[in-house]
């Protein structure tokens, strides 16, 4: 009796399981395209736009009002372009600083302030894109599913890191651990005034500190008594010197640019979760189908 001929390769590709696999692989290709487009939109929002200065609509969206509600402690505006504060005027009036007179500082347009949180978020989104690009053009359909299942959790990790970067700044990027560049403002910031910017989710946070610096040879506590400052002291060390924070203000400004980045991260994270769940369910159904006994056709 002649041996049975091996199954034709075309027949193997036309089995129900193979057709299911090709259908799922086609769907996943569409998901990867959507993920790439979404993350690219978030990455683009982290990057500077050359049109901000020339486009009035973009300039209006990039310009944020900086003011304290129900008081005149701080007033002004700043312009965000990507990860940088490129323009801004801020006026503060503290009761215990500069004899209560208003103090105005402007952002030095030739030396913009970089927001490290947005830079870090951008780097995380670029890393997620790199992972997806490697999963986008596999040589075989089987590899497509394997690579994608390996890629999605790593993409999700970088998306989470991007969100965490925007949610709160690292202490190393804040006063007193970080010293501001006085040349980033005009006129140069005095040593006893700190102006810093950070992000808090979808808002830009502006914080201004007025300091009392330790005078050589006189303990800070005695200096305060001599100056008649009978109020709770907030003592710390800055630039290796004892300081007192005599006044400070923090305000948040809703940012359309940060909202755009956050929306992209939200959508991409939801896509990752949904796709991982669908792939897990598909794997289970394929495993179940392949383990079912195959009945021979009647003669």
Residue 273 — pLDDT band, cuts 50, 70, 90? Answer: very high
Q: Sign of torsion, CA 219 223 225 229?
A: negative
pLDDT at residue 211 above 70?
A: yes
pLDDT at residue 50 above 60?
A: no
Residue 227 — pLDDT band, cuts 50, 70, 90? Answer: very low
pLDDT at residue 18 above 90?
A: no
Residue 256, pLDDT score:
92
Nearest to 80 by CA among 65, 97, 93, 69: 65
CA 275 to chain centroid, in Å, comes to 23
Residue 290, pLDDT score:
60
Residue 110 — pLDDT band, cuts 50, 70, 90? Answer: very high
pLDDT tens per residue across span 168-210: 999 999 988 888 888 899 999 998 999 999 999 999 999 999 9
pLDDT at residue 15 above 50?
A: yes
Angle at 81 between CA 76 and CA 87, to 5 degrees: 35
Residue 52 — pLDDT band, cuts 50, 70, 90? Answer: low
Q: How far is CA 62 from CA 1, 38, 87, in A?
A: 82, 21, 10
Mean pLDDT over 217-225 rounds to 49
271: left (phi over 0), alpha (psi -120 to 50) or beta: alpha
Strands 235-238 and 203-213: what pairing?
A: unpaired
Nearest to 29 by CA among 130, 156, 145: 145
Average pLDDT, the chain: 81
Mean pLDDT over 139-151 rounds to 69
pLDDT at residue 294 above 70?
A: no
């Amino acid at each position: 009796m002649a041996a049975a001929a091996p199954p034709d390769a075309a027949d193997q590709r036309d089995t129900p399981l193979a057709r299911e696999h090709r259908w799922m692989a086609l769907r996943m290709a569409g998901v990867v395209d959507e993920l790439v487009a979404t993350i690219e939109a978030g990455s683009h929002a982290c990057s500077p736009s050359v049109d901000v200065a020339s486009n009035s609509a973009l300039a209006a969206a990039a310009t944020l009002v900086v003011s304290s509600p129900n008081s005149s402690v701080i007033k002004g505006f700043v312009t965000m372009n990507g990860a940088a504060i490129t323009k801004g005027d801020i006026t503060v009036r503290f009761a215990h600083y500069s004899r209560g007179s208003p103090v105005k500082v402007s952002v030095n347009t030739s030396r913009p302030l970089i927001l490290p949180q947005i830079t870090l978020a951008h780097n995380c989104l670029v890393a997620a894109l790199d992972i997806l690009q490697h999963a986008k053009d596999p040589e075989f359909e089987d590899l497509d599913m394997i690579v994608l299942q390996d890629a999605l959790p790593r993409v999700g990790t970088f998306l989470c890191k991007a969100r965490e970067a925007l949610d709160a700044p690292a202490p190393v990027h804040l006063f007193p651990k970080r010293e501001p560049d006085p040349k980033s403002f005009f006129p140069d910031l005095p040593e006893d005034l700190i102006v810093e910017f950070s992000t808090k989710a979808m808002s830009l946070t502006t914080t201004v500190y007025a300091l009392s610096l330790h005078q050589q040879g006189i303990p800070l506590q005695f200096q305060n008594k001599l100056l008649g400052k009978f109020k709770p002291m907030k003592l710390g060390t800055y630039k290796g010197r004892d300081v007192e924070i005599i006044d400070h203000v923090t305000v948040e400004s809703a940012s359309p640019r940060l909202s755009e980045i956050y929306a992209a991260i939200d959508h991409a994270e939801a896509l990752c979760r949904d796709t991982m769940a669908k792939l897990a369910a598909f794997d289970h159904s394929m495993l179940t189908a392949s383990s079912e006994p195959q009945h021979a056709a009647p003669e």
